[in-house]
Amino acid sequence: TTPTMSHEERFVPERQKLDQLGVVKDYAVHPRLDYRTISGVNGPLVILDNVKLPKFAEIVNLRLGDGTERSGQVLEVAGSRAVVQVFEGTSGIDNRKTHCEFTGDVLKMGVSEEMLGRSFNGSGK
């Protein structure tokens, strides 16, 4: 709303509905840090240095030089070093071209009765 709107203009049902939809959207509110500090790759693990406050079990999005996107999870933290397990494998990861974004969030998965008796992998798929 703007300061020049009248009381009636502010409470138009369509405007209220848009405001409500904006509240329930899943926006990335906090700034996410993007790193290109990969110091090593060993099997499904990627080691990153100089990471600001990495958290155990934090989800990491990786964007390779060719635009491919993968995801992983922090398995170990030692100061500013983070060891990330990449769910989709590490082939093609380049320490100069791969961007790693720490989301600040942990893996979440909704549950329902339809899921009973089914199997899922570690990333919920």
| pLDDT digit string, tens, across residues 32-72 | 778 999 999 999 999 999 999 899 999 999 999 999 999 99
Burial zone of 109 (CB within 10 Å; 0-12 exposed, 13-18 middle, 19+ buried): exposed
Q: Hey, is 74 helix, strand or coil?
A: strand
Encode pLDDT of 83-118 as tens digits.
Answer: 999 999 999 999 899 999 999 889 887 888 888 888
Question: d(Cα 59, Cα 28) in Å, to the nearest integer?
Answer: 13
> How do strand 45-48 and strand 38-42 relate by DSSP bridges?
antiparallel
Q: Set out the domains of the chain in order of their start, with CATH numbers.
A: 33-108 (2.40.10.170)
Burial zone of 119 (CB within 10 Å; 0-12 exposed, 13-18 middle, 19+ buried): exposed
Question: d(Cα 42, Cα 108) in Å, to the nearest integer?
Answer: 26
